[in-house]
Amino acid sequence: MTEKKWHGYWWLPGQEDRKVAGSLHVQDSGQTRLSLIGGFDLEQAAQSSIDGDKIGARAVTILGLCASVKITLIGGLASLTHGWPESADYQEISGSRALIGTHLQRADDPVFASVMFTLENFGPFLGRYAFDHTDGLHGETSSVVYKPIDNISFSFEGWKFQVYTYFPTFQTHDRRGSSAVEGTTREVLIATSDVPRPLTDFDEIAKTFMDLLTLASGEACGVTEMSLELAKDKNVTYLPNDGRSYRVVQDHKRWIHAARPDDAPQDLRRFRFTCSDMSFEELTRVWLPLRRRASAATNLLFGLYYARPGFTETRLLSAAVVAESLHWTVFGSPLRWDKEEFKSLRAAIDGSIADPQQRAWVKDRIKNETSFRERLIELASRPNQSAVAALIGDVDKWAKNVVDARNGLAHTGADTNKNGDIFELTQVTLFLASLTLMKELGFSDEVQIEALRRDEYLSVIRHKD
């Protein structure tokens, strides 16, 4: 793991006259550490920036200047302080994010115009291959040729999206015992906003495509590199090259999923879908509004991919919540009767029970909604039914097992073995959620069936009684 360092002076916003010397260390994972020869009273700084009823341990923003490079450290928390903060001789501060190239006074300042980032598994997903090679036999010439690929460009919902292949040039590495030629390409996604936006809006764009790649590949896909572009300042005169190089901000953030860009990509045969099934533009136009509508379900669904492995019981409870939330997204409010019919029903029940306590008890338990089991069955009716039959088998039995297992864990902590293998139950339920999202994206029956067939684990457990 490599580490980048910046040496300079640091201060709290509004306190530029109280600078402290120190060094910022940033690792590939986005983990940041600021080492100071001196220190700040971060607790006091946090208290002065929030309402009195919210005072407490809270991260702060720290600004720095390193050889004329502006740096913003976000989410600063003191992890080590020698002495009292104001008179400390040494302090270490961890941060959640470092922006190299700007001073950001507030995280919600709308000062950014675009974001540029790369993602794990993005190249195989797009199916864009820029190299042609020939293997020479019997002394014939061997060659590798880079072929430029047309950019993808379209606008949607106030954003302009562009995908281009970054290829610097071939690199030659000569060593004492060997020589090597290397060519590296990256598929880069740029999202440019019609208006300046805050940092969080660009984070959301990056997470949106993280989730899409995770859904497509069946494994966690993270951001490998990210930079932002500041919006033009009307009071600044830029160079003829548009001054873009002066407005690019390197973004080092610790995401919930630590990307591994140097690992082998997901086997293309294991992808649930790629851009050969639906173009990137078509996917984006459907995925952005779908993810917004289903955010409660997708945040939890993909969070299970990004988070470290946890207890199976917890994952089962989460899978049940994903299914219930996704049902709401797809089918809307699960009302059993018309509101007026339900009102008449409750009135009839009220009139038939004389005891006030009994009447109140019954009214509290009568709800105008379908049961969780019925909602699970309805959710299973949404994707291609051949895929559902291969995945689940007996839908009624699956729904009952999910309900019993969830209730047993949530209400009594009872042993759930009677409901079958809860690990398998969890995996099947989560894959059903993925199939439902694929259906909502508009993928054909054939693609849904093929997605199930490509899953190594589910191909073993499906049809299992």
The answer to whether 278 and 254 have CB atoms below 8 angstroms apart is no
DSSP secondary structure string for all residues of 275-325: TTTS-HHHHHHHHHHHHHHTHHHHHHHHHHHHSPP--HHHHHHHHHHHHHH
The model's pLDDT over 4-18, given as tens digits with 9 standing for 90+, comes to 999 999 999 888 899
- Alpha-carbon span 288 to 156, nearest angstrom: 9
The model's pLDDT over 33-65, given as tens digits with 9 standing for 90+, comes to 999 998 888 877 765 554 333 333 456 899 999
Name 60's bridge partners: 76
The model's pLDDT over 373-422, given as tens digits with 9 standing for 90+, comes to 989 999 999 999 999 999 998 999 999 999 988 888 887 766 555 656 88
Which pLDDT belongs to residue 53?
35
Give the number of C-alpha atoms closer than 13 A to the C-alpha of residue 185, restricted to the C-beta side: 19
Q: Is 192 helix (H, G, I), strand (E, B) or coil?
A: strand
- Alpha-carbon span 41 to 460, nearest angstrom: 57
- Alpha-carbon span 368 to 282, nearest angstrom: 38
The H or E element that residue 100 is part of is strand 97-100
The H or E element that residue 122 is part of is helix 122-126
Output helix, strand, coil percentages for the chain, rounded to the nearest 5: 40, 25, 35
The model's pLDDT over 273-297, given as tens digits with 9 standing for 90+, comes to 999 999 999 999 999 999 999 999 9
Q: Would you say residue 210 has pLDDT above 90?
A: yes
Q: Sorting pLDDT into bands at 50, 70 and 90, what band is 88?
A: confident
Residue of higher predicted confidence among 29 and 344? 29
Residue type, 439: K
Which pLDDT belongs to residue 166?
87
Report percent pLDDT > 90 for the chain. 51
- Alpha-carbon span 320 to 432, nearest angstrom: 11
Which pLDDT belongs to residue 57?
45
| 139 phi, psi to nearest 5 deg | 85, 5
- Alpha-carbon span 121 to 260, nearest angstrom: 10
Which pLDDT belongs to residue 101?
93
Q: Is 146 helix (H, G, I), strand (E, B) or coil?
A: strand
- Average pLDDT over the chain reads 86
Which pLDDT belongs to residue 142?
81
The model's pLDDT over 105-123, given as tens digits with 9 standing for 90+, comes to 887 889 999 999 999 999 9
The model's pLDDT over 132-164, given as tens digits with 9 standing for 90+, comes to 878 777 677 888 888 888 899 999 999 999 999
The model's pLDDT over 237-279, given as tens digits with 9 standing for 90+, comes to 545 555 455 689 999 998 989 889 888 888 888 999 999 999 9
Q: Would you say residue 356 has pLDDT above 70?
A: yes
Q: Sorting pLDDT into bands at 50, 70 and 90, what band is 457?
A: confident
**pTM for the whole structure:** 0.86
Residue with the two structure tokens 């590199």 = 225
